[in-house]
Structure 1
């Protein structure tokens, strides 16, 4: 192809680019119509889809079903451990993956159930109901044991709260192999179908240039290749993901690592925290070694905020809680008009094997919902008349708190990074109000199941939540600063 032909701007390719990235809704609708998917939004990529599975035990319970719902809403892959599949379908719906098993029967906690599990959230508990029975709408359950004489129904606290939790811990420690301080974002060695429809070319055709690039999945890699031209004042070629919904949440990670084989040129990696087509990006330049595989670590602290390759002074640091898109680029320009010292027009090739987030700090792999008061039965100086019903009635309820404490101990002894959450009296009040975290097992109060489900999710994303045990109750403040709450906690000895 001659330079003259190459200098002819391609309006069709320009429109195709805008349609693929849904910049102009009409173009996008027409493209979907032509492809027979005019009303199909199911192909919108989700930021959580490239992380490992979160296994939720006790998924049909009051807290468990809320944990499942919130994980799904955030784009996590969720596997619900249930005993009754028909009951689970009625409660959780048809879109949630179910695994049939029973924590009191370790033989049911199979290799298949634990496959690709990155973290476990355990919300299992014995069933407690009023002695005279519950109402069809569970109104007595909603008001708690404070108003009705309670009794244990079904399995004993020893089997569920201790032995069952211990069984689940052992299964998790044997099969949860994904490193807690790495999150695989894109695995091109084993690409899924949806991965093939996420990345698309964004070349200088959008600015009037004539450079051309594409991304292909070849031999276990993503091949970013093409021809970059400086004609028509152009000079860049790139591939970019469509916006993720929900976005990736990389809070707690320190940076991104690329496994690449290049051609000796200098490339850019960009991250966007807004959904705008032509908005601010956070950029990092890296050099490749011709025909050699290298690992490129990109610390988030070294990302440069840019708008069209112009640096933005005094701009906020990157918001890691909402990563909407990623981009790889070969550009004539470095930043602020400076030239890329390794740039040359013509063909280029960059192979990418994987992209993952990394951190030197671990994230929790086992989150256990226990109970406030577990250390109080038999504690010297305790006035039982001032304690919650569960403490006063511990012996009557089969030592429920005593066995919960034994279950906690099995988690602490497992060697896995963990979080143990001890809620005060649980309520069915909707929403998540301000919370108080304390340690030492002394506080009394109430907290909603909605709030505890959210605490479970937040714990999975906070390095500060590793190896801590704490109590939770509803507070009076108007807002929640999750990082400050977890930072206030001391790790278990």
Structure 2
């Protein structure tokens, strides 16, 4: 009888261990690398844009350089609120530059994560983090991706990890916040961008025309809550 009890107890313990292992195996990792900037090859995943496409004079570049502790991306340039001489464009807003990821072959699935983390070294300006998701409406004239934006204030000269909960990203349309009840679908992300404007941002941040410089190590999805349901 005691041998049977020992066998039963061993079976129960083994079953509990197997169950615990299976649960842990099904849980996604606590972080997911989305983009890194540790090689020149990584630059091929991005393209630049600025108001120069519409007659403005702002300019931007993106390169890989040694930051002293390893390679990182450097997004830099100059913000100008002026227009090129002879320009016929009429812009409500100038003085902006950005870097946006190119179209992906598949979606970025961050459904298991609740936060975007970016390792950055800035210049005291406020930058804008944008997440683009699939446009599930696809109505005529509404073919653009849905965009969600959040400000990132990056102090000067020190590396920091900025963490932005996904529910802090606001739905926007061409830079303006949409006053509508919308919910992001983090499993259908089609791209991301970082941008900077000459005006606007959080109180205390550097603003105005002139040079800007942002170093980027990586962008990740984080799971900061234990309430994940697979």
Shorter-chain TM band: 0.7 to 0.9
User: Paired residue for 1:353?
Assistant: 217
User: Paired residue for 2:61?
Assistant: 214
For the 8 Å contact 2:40–2:63, the answer to whether it is kept is: no
Alpha-carbon distance, 1:318 to partner:
1.0
Alpha-carbon distance, 1:207 to partner:
3.0
Unmatched runs of 5 consecutive residues or more in structure 2: 1-13, 84-90, 136-141
CA RMSD of aligned residues (A): 2.9
Query: Normalization by structure 2: what TM-score?
Result: 0.73
User: Paired residue for 2:153?
Assistant: 287
2:82 paired with 1:235: no
- Does the residue aligned with 2:179 lie in a helix, a strand or coil? coil
CA 1:463 to 1:268, structure 2 compared with 1: closer, same or farther past 3 Å? Answer: same
Task: Report the Cα distance in structure 1 between the residues aligned to 2:181 and 2:77, rounded to whole angstroms.
Answer: 33
Alpha-carbon distance, 1:320 to partner:
0.5
Alpha-carbon distance, 1:260 to partner:
0.4
For the 8 Å contact 2:124–2:205, the answer to whether it is kept is: no
CA 1:262 to 1:224, structure 2 compared with 1: closer, same or farther past 3 Å? Answer: same
User: Paired residue for 2:52?
Assistant: 205
Task: Report the Cα distance in structure 2 between the residues aligned to 1:345 and 1:192, rounded to whole angstroms.
Answer: 29
User: Paired residue for 1:314?
Assistant: 180
For the 8 Å contact 2:153–2:205, the answer to whether it is kept is: no
Task: Report the Cα distance in structure 1 between the residues aligned to 2:206 and 2:146, rounded to whole angstroms.
Answer: 24
Structure having the larger proportion of residues in strand: 2
> Which one is further off, 264-273 or 230-239?
230-239
Unmatched runs of 5 consecutive residues or more in structure 1: 1-161, 363-461, 466-493
User: Paired residue for 1:256?
Assistant: 116
Deviations 1:124-165 (CA, angstroms, capped at 9, x unpaired): xxxxxxxxxxxxxxxxxxxxxxxxxxxxxxxxxxxxxx9xxx
- Does the residue aligned with 2:229 lie in a helix, a strand or coil? helix
User: Paired residue for 2:4?
Assistant: none
1:326 aligned to which of 185, 192, 211: 192
Task: Report the Cα distance in structure 1 between the residues aligned to 2:102 and 2:188, rounded to whole angstroms.
Answer: 14
For the 8 Å contact 1:263–1:349, the answer to whether it is kept is: yes
Query: Normalization by structure 1: what TM-score?
Result: 0.35
Deviations 1:43-82 (CA, angstroms, capped at 9, x unpaired): xxxxxxxxxxxxxxxxxxxxxxxxxxxxxxxxxxxxxxxx
For the 8 Å contact 2:80–2:198, the answer to whether it is kept is: no
User: Paired residue for 1:181?
Assistant: 30
Alpha-carbon distance, 1:332 to partner:
2.9
CA 1:201 to 1:211, structure 2 compared with 1: closer, same or farther past 3 Å? Answer: same
Task: Report the Cα distance in structure 2 between the residues aligned to 1:248 and 1:279, rounded to whole angstroms.
Answer: 14
For the 8 Å contact 2:37–2:43, the answer to whether it is kept is: no
Deviations 1:178-204 (CA, angstroms, capped at 9, x unpaired): x81100112223x373x2311110111
CA 1:228 to 1:339, structure 2 compared with 1: closer, same or farther past 3 Å? Answer: farther
2:167 aligned to which of 301, 307, 311: 301
For the 8 Å contact 2:133–2:145, the answer to whether it is kept is: no
